Every structure is written in C-alpha cells, then in structure tokens.
Amino acid sequence: MTAKMTGISADDLQNFEETPCILTLRDGEIRGIERDSVRIFKGVPFAAAPVGDLRFRPPQRPTPWSGVREADEYGPAPMQGGLSGTASLAYLGAPRSEDCLYLNVWAPAAPGPHPVLVWIFGGSNQTGSASFPLFDGAVFARRGIVCVTISYRVGVYGFLELGEVLGADYRGSSENGLRDIVAALEWVQENIAAFGGDPARVTAGGESAGGMNICSLMAAPAARDLFQSAIVQSGGEVVASLEEANAVARIFNEGLLEAGGVASDLLAMPAEEITTLQSRLLDGRPRSFRGVFGGDLIPVRPLDAIAQGASSQVRLLIGTNRDESIMFIPATDPTGPQISNADLAANDPVFNRYAPRFAGLSPLEQRVRFMTARDFWRSSSQIALARARQGAAETYVYRFDQTAATGAWAGRAVHAAELPYVWNALDAPSAVAFLTGQADAGRRRLGAEICDRWANFIHGHPPDADGALPWPCFDRDHAVLLFDEKVRLEPLDEAELELWT
C-alpha cells in the first residue's frame, strides 16, 4: 500500500516543516505527518477498547472506521497507580485510561521494505507507557527501521487471574497483558507493509518487564513466527505458576470483601477505584503481576521450553546491567536483613554462598550482586546457555557497566540505565534527571555506538558498529560484551551461576 500526500499551506510548512500523510490500513485510513524524512503516526488502535463487557477479557479486533482517522496524538497510557510517582503525565507522556490498546509508528520516508522494531515498555507489568518521552522512534527510523511502540494492559487489568474469583469465563485473565502484545504483533504482520515495513523482519524488543514478557512469548505457540529476532534488556524469565497467580487474586479479592464489596463488583467498578484498591493491596508485594505459565498461552515454563528448542529460530540479543538492583534496596537500611519482603539469610541459602565467593566485596555490594543475579542476570544467562547447547540462532550477550556521571546514581549502572544509550537520548530530561546525569563526550560516543549496534542487529546483521570492537556470538566462547568507558569482552561467570544450583 502506498501513502497519499495531502496539501498544506506554505505558512504551516514554514512553522512546522510537516506534511500530512495518509495511509490505508486493515481497519481504515489514518493521517499522520512527515517530518525530517520520518513519517510519524500516533495513537493507532490495534485492538478494541478493553472496557465494559471487554474488561478482563482477551483483546478483540478494533471496529473498522470510515473516513480518515487522525493519528497525531498518543493514545492513553494503561490504567495504573502511582508506583514511585510514575503515573504522572510528564512521565507517561499521556493520560491514563482503560482504553489503552494503541500503538505508535515512526517510519522512514524512503521506500522499503525496512526491518521493524516493536518496542515493549517495562514497569513491573504494573506501570509504564508506550508514549514515555524517551521512546522516540525517530532515532531508529533515521537508521532505516520502522519503529513501533505498543501499549498493553498492566496490573490487575492485564495480569490478575480471576478464574477462581469470577468463574470459568474469566479463567486465563492473567494472560491478557501478554495477549495484548500478541495482538499488537499480529497487527504488525497485517499492516506494517503500509508503512514500508517488512513483516518477515520483525524484532521484538523490550526492557525490564517488557523483556521478561518477550521471554515468555518465546515459549508461546501463539507468538511463533510473529517476530524473527528479539532484544531482551534486563529481562529473562520471570513468571508465575497458576497457583501463584491464584494466590495474588485471593489477596485482591479478600481486600475487596473487607472493603464491603463482592467479586462481581470488579466488572462495573470505576477504574480509579480498582486502581486504588490495587495500590493499597499489592503495591508493596513484589512481582504480583507476571506472565503465567501452565495455561493456554504459555503451556510450559519459558526456560524449560527454550531449553527444548522453543524459538530456536529467533535471533537474540540479551543482557543486564551491572548494578540493576541497587535501586530496589532500601536506602534507610541497605545492609539490614529485610529486602523485597524477604529475610535473605533465613530464606535464601544461595545468598549465604555469595559472601565467601565474593569476599572482596562489601556486604552492600554482595547484596547488589546477589539481587541482580536473582532478578535479572541468572535467568538471562541461563537462556543464553540453553540456546548455545541446542544450537539455536545467533545469540549475543552484553552487560552494561557504564555508570552515571552525576545524580542520585552516580558511579552506578542501575536498572534501566542503558535505555538512554539504546535510544541515543542522553539529553532527554528523564535520562538526565534519573538515570545518567550529565553526559560527557565519552558517554555520548558510547550512546551512538550502542544505538548503532542495536540498529545493525535489527537489520539482520551482527550487532557491530563502525570502528568498534566486534561482538562475537555467545555460543563460540560464552563471551559477554561489556559496555563501559572501554568496551571489552569477558567470559560469562559460570562459577557464579553454579552458586544457584
């Protein structure tokens, strides 16, 4: 399908340097803009609004529209609470609503077909937004890539298992957030050619919960052939059994009953009240909202499925950050016994093995290393090793060690710190204020290099960059590329992995 260009006044061109652009999609026509050789379309529905009778239900196709739909504003962010202040409009880039199943596209104006990046935001499956200001897809469009940022339901709306609470009709509701992602990937297969994208060259990329959700979908038969490559940043396997998901639902239902309600109230209760209840009951409970295995969508635990060959045809770039977990350690008592609602020494024998193995580290550093391994590094490494053993498509493994220059996390490579580098957006206010501090010339060079490496991977090439250290496949020597002031290669620390066996 081809774009049709509409007229625009000379004054508008002078003021905005934008040209309207109309595309014909499966469900109707949309009008976006072309600016600086990038076509931009925002707020495009990929599924019906999950409201009313569709609350807690799997995503449905949107209703086709007549006329031309304007695609010049982001769709709403998913309904969510104020976890760590992240529900602010400045952070999310859009207001919140249950009606959130929209995506955004940045495409090169040059003819395709171009490879495609589908980006899945993180946020513990509890918060986040496809309109987060850092995720400006123009940076990839200028590298010859069609970039799509997608939304999905988070928290109770997408990950609460209501089969026991509301009956058999709602069994599998904990899969709805992942099913939203599948629906977006299916939309890409049907529509991305209209933007100049190649549906046979799709990379699913995501960070934190976004990366974890990609790992879950690597074990989902319904997602097979929807993406040919994957980028997993600070993800790995983080899932729940159906029994664990039911336990979370019971906590939520008991809180509802204590408040004088009944389970069926959830079907008509205002979304703000549901979100308030979620915040009161579950915000302090770690990882309440995870992909659930053992159901229709993910029959087998993802790591087991990957070890058995699931998604072996998918190219994979995967890695973690050196100090991921420092931001989750209470500043008031960083070396105390309690962390993430668990007494480490009493409840996790693996933690007791870290002190002798890393005797040269302070108690705090041992804790950071342990928690980073527990929550991110271990399963990411296990996925890479499993793929190497069964001869899967090429896998590339990294660790991000570049520390923040200034600010609260100066001297640390914390969770999400790689994002401004991947998106080559070190001057973005969110990056400067929270993740990277003021960037110097060396950090700017590293940002350009990392963005170029990711882009080359999305294009189907090795993730190398001009003049930079070549990045070998992991299966050769289990080599890990470390991003720091000096990019270098080191072998995977398999001795640390053995602490977990």
SS3 labels along 284-303: CCCCCCCEEECCCCCCCCHH
Has residue 433 got a pLDDT over 70? no
| pLDDT tens by residue, 269-297 | 999 999 999 999 887 777 789 999 999 99
Q: What is the pLDDT of residue 4?
A: 31
Average of pLDDT values for 457-473? 97
Has residue 36 got a pLDDT over 90? yes
Strands 19-24 and 29-35, by their bridges, are antiparallel
Average of pLDDT values for 108-115? 96
Q: How far apart are the first and last CA of the chain?
A: 53
**H/E segment holding residue 475:** helix 474-477
Question: How many CA atoms lie less than 13 Å away from 210 in the CB half-sphere?
Answer: 25
Average of pLDDT values for 173-179? 98
Average of pLDDT values for 42-58? 98
Closest among 149, 140, 43, 143 to 99, alpha carbons compared: 43
Closest among 187, 112, 206, 123 to 422, alpha carbons compared: 206
Q: What is the pLDDT of residue 287?
A: 78
Residue type, 137: G
Q: Which residues contact 30 (CB under 8 A, 6 or more apart)?
A: 22, 23, 41, 44, 68, 69, 70, 71
How is residue 326 written in tokens? 């420092």
- 305 vs 406, higher pLDDT: 305
How is residue 177 written in tokens? 């957030």
Strands 38-45 and 96-97, by their bridges, are unpaired
Average of pLDDT values for 3-8? 34
Q: Which residues are catalytic?
A: 208, 324, 415
Q: What is the pLDDT of residue 410?
A: 87
Q: What is the pLDDT of residue 80?
A: 93
Q: What is the pLDDT of residue 429?
A: 78
Reported as a pLDDT band with limits 50, 70 and 90, residue 331 is low
Closest among 359, 363, 58, 32 to 180, alpha carbons compared: 58
Q: How far apart are CA 339 and CA 336, in angstroms?
A: 8
Lowest mean pLDDT segment, chosen from 66-75, 96-105, 423-432, 447-456: 423-432
Lowest mean pLDDT segment, chosen from 114-123, 244-253, 322-331: 322-331
Average of pLDDT values for 426-450? 82
High-pLDDT (> 70) share of the chain, %: 90
Has residue 26 got a pLDDT over 70? yes
Average of pLDDT values for 394-398? 98
How is residue 246 written in tokens? 């039911």
Question: How many CA atoms lie less than 13 Å away from 487 in the CB half-sphere?
Answer: 18
Per-residue DSSP letter, 172: T
Q: What is the pLDDT of residue 15?
A: 47
| pLDDT tens by residue, 335-353 | 554 444 445 655 578 988 9
User: Can you spell out the DSSP letters for 102-156?
Assistant: EEEEEEESS-S-EEEEEEE--STTTS--TT-TT--THHHHTTT-EEEEE----TH
Q: What is the pLDDT of residue 438?
A: 75
Q: What is the pLDDT of residue 206?
A: 98
Has residue 106 got a pLDDT over 50? yes
Reported as a pLDDT band with limits 50, 70 and 90, residue 5 is very low
Cβ neighbours of 159 (radius 10 Å): 28
Tell me the whole-structure pTM to 2 decimals.
0.93
C-alpha distances in angstroms, 401 versus 258, 320, 443? 47, 9, 12
Q: What is the pLDDT of residue 7?
A: 36
User: Can you spell out the DSSP letters for 214-276?
Assistant: HHHHTT-GGGTTS-SEEEEES----EEEHHHHHHHHHHHHHHHHHTT--GGGGGTS-HHHHHH
Q: What is the pLDDT of residue 231?
A: 98
Reported as a pLDDT band with limits 50, 70 and 90, residue 333 is low
